[in-house]
Amino acid sequence: MILSIIIPCFNEEKTILEILNKVNIQKKIFNIQIIISDDGSTDNTISLLKDNPHLYDKLIENKINCGKGAAIISAIPYLKGNIIIIQDADLEYDPNDYKNLIQPIISHKCSVVYGSRVLNKLRYKNKNFTSLFRVFSNHVLTIISNLFNRQSLTDAHTCYKVFSVDVFSKIFFKEKGFNFCPEATTKISNLGIKIFEVPISYNGRTYKQGKKIKFTDGLEAIFTIIKYKFFITK
């Protein structure tokens, strides 16, 4: 079994080597393919990566910043794994959770797993993330996603989305930005697949630390769900 880890990144010079080291530690347990897809970084991210080629299997350099979805899509032709994991580069999500994330797929309970920040009773380590507005927004968007997609998720917009290769290969992703997340959930649901959730740890960062999601991304997420549910179903 091979785990293919897709790491989209944009201007992550402060964290990229640390997250790669954390992912590489998991090689003690799993056979892992690491694909870095840089989304037009303008800082030293690319230089750091090129100086440390031993930390990954494939580096994709997208010259123009098009968004998280575009970075993920550009990595798809290089996938070799039986299970695909989306991993952010900003240290908010911990690769130590891989074991729990893939277990439901290995045991044939499901073919898609989301890592839920909400199911973790310890919740978020970084209190800055738990502002009432941001928690409320995520909750509302998850409810809307569940209503349209007939899922029972607690955290629809989590980074940790894990797919069996059979399901992943059936989805034709189009969204270039953060709307990759609602597109993925809606298209999985359109296939009649129930998404399984497991609790994960989470160390949220602030906007000063590089958080990129904005209020308008939430509005676009709702539009994306409606678009792929009723107008573009494939």
> Contact 156/182 with Cβ under 8 angstroms?
yes
CA distances to 9, 13, 48, 131, 170 from 212, in Å:
11, 15, 21, 16, 29
| Residue 150 domain boundaries | 2-231
Domain count, the chain: 1
> The domain spanning residue 117 has which CATH number?
3.90.550.10
* pLDDT tens column, 141-187: 999 999 999 999 999 999 999 999 999 999 999 999 999 999 999 99
The model's confidence at residue 123, banded by pLDDT at 50, 70 and 90, is: low
CA distance 144 to 220: 13
Closest CA to 85 of 34, 155, 142: 34
Q: What percent of the chain has pLDDT over 70?
A: 90
Q: Quick check: 128 pLDDT over 70?
A: no
